[in-house]
Structure 1
Amino acid sequence: MTEKEFMEEDYRKKMEEHHRKMEIRREKRRQQRNFHIFLGILIPALLILTFVGLRFALPYMEDHNLLSFGKKTGPSWEKEVEPLSSGSDITINQGPEESTEEPLSEKEEALQAAELFAKQYDYDKAIESLQALGTEDSSVSDKIAEYEAEKEKLVPADMDQITHIFFHILITDTDRALKDTRQGRQYNSVMTTIPEFKEIIKEMYERGYVMVHMHDIAEMQEQADGTKKMVKKQILLPEGKKPFVMSEDDVNYYIYMQGSGFADKMVLDEDGKPKLQYTDKDGNVSVGDYDIVPILDEFVEEHPDFAYHGHKAILAFTGYNGVLGYRTDETFDPNSSALDPKNKANPNIEEDKETVKKITQVLKEDGYEFASHSWGHINFTNRSLEDIKRDTDRWKRNVEPLLPDSCDILLYPFGADIGDWHPYKKGGENGKYDLLEEAGFRYFCNVDSTQIWMQYGDQFLRQGRRNIDGYRLYESYSGKADRVSDLFDVKKVFDTRRPTPISWED
């Protein structure tokens, strides 16, 4: 038998098996009006197949559309048709397609997980996940040996040379956001557009930068005498890779920004992934990648080696307008004595709080850290100790309970630090450090235009942050100053839709 004849014979058998099953189903539905018509046509067709032969029958059936006899356009029929036997290359419409992929075995799952860990430089976890399978399988033991060899090539990063960049909420619609008004000029100065952010992370990735957490740099560790001390850690990366920290301020989606070309609030999509809800100029609402989180997630999914151990950005929250676009603060609570009469009471505040808790838990699992940006976006340099205590209490009461864990990172609004370049000291003159330390803060970030500023203390880590915004980009783009060329090529990054020149707007 030739190959062609073999294929035709196999095709005929599969077709006969398929039509046989269709007949069985039709027998159960005799009450349907068209049954006898279909059966009357189908049986002669099968007889023709049997006596005339496959070579003549198939063209006949194709010409007369007999291959689709008995098919109805309704879900009840489609659910009853059984699929063809395994290996068939004939496609039959059976309604919504179900995945035919076999579930991954324990070994396959472990290998996939280990590969992701390895790409993100967590070779210890990659090896650990494979060792749980045992080393009798050569494919597993070979992979472990490969990861051990790659780990040996890692080199320690300079823990005193880690830059920290930060952004505000990204501009979605430049036409609405960057109008020639005081507010528009301020947005132009302190905000970054979506295309700029995408190009920035692309450029930084290509230059070998890798995101790390502040907790990767140093952490509080218990000492032999029972006390705790901030201890500098070690980050191991391939030669040429450079760790950096990224943060985003005011991830609150303030009321005053609504309708100005920014996202409305963060939501979870049908897959449980964090996205942004956005309302365009015509009032159309959509869900998509309208801010840093989903854009960063998508980039890391394509380039997992951009995130050290899967770690991503720090998201900093104030409290006075609620969190993530939800009016969760007590000043919006219709049942609270703290309700501000200037605010529109939120009757769904408890439900919104639960929503925010779910989102922040997903964000934590997704690799994000959280920080305080104060409750009322206050200036810590100028405010009194009493003001700072009142503000910190409100943040701890209204924002921290919405996070998966207690918060120990403080990103100063306006970069306004509680001290100068000298290390913080307990019992200091203004008492501000004692207050913040007692509130649980251990990581403190001001704003500094230099590439790197870091300070390690026994109980704290301080780091300067670099603002990557319209002012800083235009400053470099126009040739006035160069403060970003170590990170990216501003000529590739700068969004020329921006009105220029751009001056600093408080």
Structure 2
Amino acid sequence: MKRLKQITAVLFALILALGFTGCKPRLVEENREKPEQNQPTQVESNNEPQENDQDQDNNENKADKIDLKEIKANENGQVMILMYHGISDKEAEWVRTADNFRKDLRTLYDEGYRLISLKDYIENNIKVEAGYTPFVMTFDDGLLNSYNIIEENGEKKIDPDCAVGILEEFKKEHPDFGRGGSFFVFYPIPFRQKELIKEKYEFLIQNGYDIGNHAYTHENLGKLSIEDVQKALGKNVKLTQGYLPGYDVYALALPYGIGPKGDGYIYAAQGEYDGVKYNHRAVLKVGSNPAPSPVDIKFDPIRLPRIRASEMNTAGTGIYDWLQHFEKKPEKRYISDGNPDTVAIPESEKDNVDQSKLNGKELIIYN
């Protein structure tokens, strides 16, 4: 009996031992799973460089697959900077109707043009899909029909027939159209609704637009002394920054297309008034032709030509004249390679590139 009890005790102990031993693999397995379940935050953090490298490799592979010759990539081609003024119900030399403005946008979109900001253009930060052409859009004078806010059913809304309203609607319908648009304003009441100036400014900069300098009261800078040029430009910047503290007014559209005379022209770009310094890295003329690529040897950011977005009295230099020109001579048109870190050009353009303007981008020459 005693021996039976001993055997029973041994068997019981053995069963217990086997039972606990049998649990251990599951416990170990669970302990392994938990770190793996908790690991993603750490693993993703530790592996992010590898994942980014892989993404970058994928992007490079995609870029490698692009046939530059087939898409006729030419990132030293010309860029249209379009100049608008008013949008109204009657067409005039300096005014587009709302319907014609919509037509302009549709035509540009259908013909492979994509909107970028003036700042991205002058800084050569052009991010446009391969095979497409960047363009810049500007609006002078800060007119009511450029940006009008109306009231409907007791609520404020953007007038659907003003420039901003039309642009916003078009971008909703065509999200790949791009973003941009510079509004060059003068004072005392830009956009002609005094109580809404700050609201309009804030909407613009929050939605990819720029606010530029058009002098204090649209002065003819060619008729002013150096002191008065700085006053006209510095006062504009001071007032704009009063609505938008610290805002970078980086561009000027010359009123009447006229800058200060002779050596005084530099004051269109830089100067100071009443303790306020201004630094216009882009100065726009009225002009009548496309602007050079930002890496072209002829690129001069403080003397940028513009194209009149008009069909009246253009003397063959309006928007549709140039669209037709580029259709006949596509080799003159800026065509993106789709990679913002490279500048792709045909061999015929290599002598026209100022390599000091590449700013670290890789120059790719193909034939």
TM-score (norm 2): 0.60
SS in 2 for 1:370: strand
Q: Distance in 2 between matches of 1:242 and 1:236?
A: 10
SS in 2 for 1:189: coil
Distance of aligned partners of 1:269 and 1:419 in 2 relative to their CA distance in 1, 3 Å threshold: farther
- Are 1:312 and 2:180 matched, yes or no? yes
Match of 2:340 in 1: none
Gap regions ≥5 residues in structure 2 = 1-43, 49-53, 329-367
- The CA RMSD over aligned residues, in Å, is 4.1
- Quick check: 1:263–1:290 contact (8 Å CA) kept in 2? no
Residues 89-123 of structure 1: per-residue CA shift (max 9 Å, x gap): xxxxxxxxxxxxxxxxxxxxxxxxxxxxxxxxxxx
SS in 2 for 1:356: helix
- Are 1:450 and 2:289 matched, yes or no? yes
Number of residues paired by the alignment? 267
Distance of aligned partners of 1:263 and 1:301 in 2 relative to their CA distance in 1, 3 Å threshold: closer
SS in 2 for 1:444: strand
Q: Which residue identity is paired with 2:174?
A: H
Q: Distance in 2 between matches of 1:263 and 1:482?
A: 24
Give the structure with the larger strand fraction: 2
Q: Distance in 1 between matches of 2:316 and 2:181?
A: 24
Q: Distance in 2 between matches of 1:250 and 1:488?
A: 31
Identity of aligned residues (%): 21
Match of 1:167 in 2: 84
Match of 1:290 in 2: 161
Match of 1:62 in 2: none
Residues 126-158 of structure 1: per-residue CA shift (max 9 Å, x gap): xxxxx89x99xxxxxx99998776566677752
- Are 1:391 and 2:224 matched, yes or no? no
- Quick check: 2:76–2:292 contact (8 Å CA) kept in 1? no
Q: 2:256 aligns with which of 397, 408, 414?
A: 414
Residues 53-109 of structure 1: per-residue CA shift (max 9 Å, x gap): xxxxxxxxxxxxxxxxxxxxxxxxxxxxxxxxxxxxxxxxxxxxxxxxxxxxxxxxx
Distance of aligned partners of 1:389 and 1:487 in 2 relative to their CA distance in 1, 3 Å threshold: same
Match of 1:485 in 2: 324
SS in 1 for 2:248: coil
Gap regions ≥5 residues in structure 1 = 1-130, 136-141, 179-187, 220-232, 254-261, 277-287, 328-351, 421-427, 490-506
Distance of aligned partners of 1:289 and 1:472 in 2 relative to their CA distance in 1, 3 Å threshold: farther
Q: Distance in 2 between matches of 1:301 and 1:324?
A: 23
Q: Distance in 1 between matches of 2:65 and 2:142?
A: 38
Distance of aligned partners of 1:146 and 1:297 in 2 relative to their CA distance in 1, 3 Å threshold: farther
Match of 1:382 in 2: 223
Q: Distance in 2 between matches of 1:434 and 1:485?
A: 33
Q: Distance in 2 between matches of 1:395 and 1:192?
A: 27
SS in 2 for 1:363: helix
Distance of aligned partners of 1:153 and 1:296 in 2 relative to their CA distance in 1, 3 Å threshold: farther
Shift of 1:238: 3.4
Q: Distance in 2 between matches of 1:189 and 1:361?
A: 30
- Quick check: 2:147–2:165 contact (8 Å CA) kept in 1? no
Shift of 1:487: 7.1
Q: Which residue identity is paired with 1:250?
A: D
- Are 1:265 and 2:106 matched, yes or no? no
Q: Distance in 2 between matches of 1:416 and 1:374?
A: 11
The higher-RCO structure (CA 8 Å, 6+ apart) is 2
Q: Distance in 1 between matches of 2:81 and 2:237?
A: 25
Match of 1:299 in 2: 170
- Are 1:326 and 2:227 matched, yes or no? no
Q: Distance in 2 between matches of 1:393 and 1:199?
A: 37
Shift of 1:198: 0.6
Shift of 1:319: 1.0
TM-score (norm 1): 0.45
Shift of 1:378: 1.5
